Structure formats: C-alpha cells, structure tokens
C-alpha cells in the first residue's frame, strides 16, 4: 500500500504516469527527457533525462575512444615491428661497417 501523495491534489498515488518530453531552450532541442506526473491532475512531479539516450551517447563516446586507442595501438605495433626489423638488420650493417673500416686501414698501410 503506497502512502506518497500528489503535492497538488493530495491524492495518494498508487503509481505515477510518465511520458517522453523534449527538453529544449527557445529554439534548440537539448535532449529527450521523461516527465513523471500525477495520473489524477497531471501535475508534473519530476522530469528525468531519458537514460536510454544518455546511455547511447556514453556508449558512442566510449566506442570512439576505443577506436582511437586501437589506432594508437596499431601505430605502436607497427613502430615495434620497424624497430624489430632494424635490430635484425643491425648485425649485417655492422659487418659492412667493419669491412669498410678494415679496407680504409689497409689503404693507410
Ligand atoms: Zn495530483
């Protein structure tokens, strides 16, 4: 048994009604909300942001951040591959440098 009363008509409310309501300033739509009102006199008791659309927006932003992070991750991965390739080329390059160095030494003598 419910005991809460409507502040306008004083009736005990066993339930409250809701409807979607646009939230806007003079010209622009800000968001879609839900208004909760007395089923007897239609006095609005509270208005909430539509949690579904807020959740959808948060999900969209999280997905965008994940995409950005995975782009950065791919870049880092390809950089690591480059470094790995350079490292495996290093011994051959060192050998070449040593050969050139020895040749120069021999020319001096
Ligand atoms: Zn009422």
- Ligand 1 centre and the CA of 38: distance in Å? 5
Q: Where are the beta strands (DSSP E) in 1-109?
A: 17-24, 29-37, 44-49
Looking at the whole model, is its pTM more than 0.75? no
pLDDT attached to residue 108: 62
18-65 per-position pLDDT tens digit: 999 998 988 888 788 899 999 999 999 999 887 777 788 888 999 999
- Ligand 1 centre and the CA of 1: distance in Å? 18
- Ligand 1 centre and the CA of 40: distance in Å? 5
Q: Tell me how far apart the alpha carbons of residues 106 and 85 are, in angstroms, rounded to a whole number.
A: 32
Q: What is the mean pLDDT of the chain?
A: 89
CB atoms closer than 10 angstroms to residue 45: 16
75-93 per-position pLDDT tens digit: 999 999 999 988 888 888 8
- Ligand 1 centre and the CA of 54: distance in Å? 29
pLDDT at residue 70 above 90?
A: yes
- Ligand 1 centre and the CA of 30: distance in Å? 28
- Ligand 1 centre and the CA of 9: distance in Å? 4
- Ligand 1 centre and the CA of 34: distance in Å? 18
């Amino acid at each position: 048994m419910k005991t809460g009363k409507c502040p306008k008509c004083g009736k005990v409310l066993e339930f409250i009604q809701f409807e979607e309501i646009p939230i806007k300033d003079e010209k622009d739509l800000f968001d879609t909300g839900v208004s909760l009102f007395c089923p007897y006199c239609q006095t609005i008791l509270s208005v909430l942001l539509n949690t579904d659309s807020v959740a959808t927006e948060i999900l969209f932003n999280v997905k965008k951040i994940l995409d950005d992070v995975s782009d950065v991750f791919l870049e880092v991965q390809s950089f690591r591959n480059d470094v790995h390739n350079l490292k495996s080329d290093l011994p051959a390059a060192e050998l070449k440098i040593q050969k050139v160095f020895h040749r120069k030494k021999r020319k001096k003598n």
